[in-house]
Structure 1
Amino acid sequence: MSPEEVARRLGWHKTKLYRIERGESRLILDDLEELLELYGVRSPERESLFQLGRDAWKRGWWLAYRDLYQGESFFVMENDAAKIGFYAPNLLPGLLQTEDYARCLIRAAHPDMADDAIQRQVQVRMERQAILTRRKPPRILAVMDEGVLRRTVGGETTYKKQLEHLLELGKRPNVDLHVIPFQAGEHMGQEGQFTLFEFPDPEDPPVAYQEGLFGDVYVEDVADMSRYMLAAEKSLDAALSKAETVAFIERLAKETR
Structure 2
Amino acid sequence: MPAQPSRSPRGARNVHDLSGRAPTAQRMIFGETLRQRRLAQGLTAEDVVRQIGHSASKISRMENGRHDFKEADLRRLLDVYGVHEEAERETLLDLARAANERGWWDAWSDVSTKTLQTLVSLEDMAQRIRSYEIAQLPGLVQTPEYTRALIRANSAGKGEQEIERIVELRAMRQQRLMRSTGKKLLCVLDEVTLVRPYGSREGMRRQLEHLISLADDPDIGFNLVELTRPNLPVQIGTTTIFDFADGQLPDIVYIERSGGGLYLQEEHEVDDHVKGFDRLLIASLGQRATVRRIQDHIKKLR
* Cα distance change of structure 1 residues 37 and 53 upon mapping to structure 2, 3 Å threshold: farther
Q: Deviations over 1:142-196 (max 9, x none)?
A: 0011111111211201100001000000000001111111232122223411111
Unaligned runs of 5+ in 2: 1-9, 16-27, 38-53, 61-66, 72-95
1:56 to 66, 80, 100: 100
Report if aligned partners of 1:89, 1:190 keep a CA contact under 8 Å in 2.
no
| Alignment map for 1:1-257 (pairs within 5 Å) | 8=11, 10=13, 17-20=31-34, 38-39=57-58, 49=70, 56-58=100-102, 60-71=103-114, 72-202=117-247, 204-257=249-302
State the shift of 1:113 in Å: 1.0
Give the TM-score, by structure 1 length.
0.80
CA distance in 2, matches of 1:48, 1:204: 18
TM-score norm. by structure 2 comes to 0.69
Cα distance, 1:244–1:22 mapped onto 2, change above 3 Å? same
Is contact 1:87-1:235 (8 Å) kept? no
Residue 115 of structure 1: how far off its partner (Å): 1.1
Check the 8 A contact 1:197/1:208 in 2, yes or no.
Answer: yes
Percent of aligned pairs with the same amino acid: 27
Q: String of CA shifts for 1:122-143, please: whole Å, max 9, x gaps.
A: 1111111012321414211000
In structure 1, the residue corresponding to 2:250 is in which secondary structure?
coil
Between structure 1 and structure 2, the one with the greater Rg is 2
Q: Give the alignment's Cα RMSD to 1 decimal.
A: 3.0
Deviates more, 1:196-205 or 1:247-256: 196-205
The alpha-carbon distance between structure 1 residues 223 and 132, as it changes in their structure 2 partners (threshold 3 A), is: same
SS of structure 2 residue aligned to 1:63? helix
Q: 1:77 to 1:249 in 2, by over 3 A?
A: same
Q: Do the aligned partners of residues 40 and 199 (structure 1) sit closer, same or farther apart at CA in structure 2, a change above 3 Å counting?
A: closer
Cα shift readout 1:202-225 (whole Å, capped 9, x = no counterpart): 352111112334122000111111
Distance between the aligned counterparts of 1:48 and 1:224, measured in 2? 28
Q: Distance in 2 between matches of 1:144 and 1:102?
A: 16
CA distance, structure 2, for counterparts of residue 40 and residue 208 of structure 1: 23
Contact 2:188 2:222 in 1 (8 A): yes
Q: Shift of residue 9 of structure 1?
A: 7.0
Q: Is the 8 A contact 1:82 1:139 kept in 2?
A: yes
Structure 1 residues 54, 116: closer, same or farther in 2, change over 3 A?
farther
Residues 80 and 188 (structure 1), Cα distance of their counterparts in 2 relative to 1, 3 Å cut: same
For structure 1, which runs of at least 5 residues remain unmatched after alignment?
1-6, 24-34
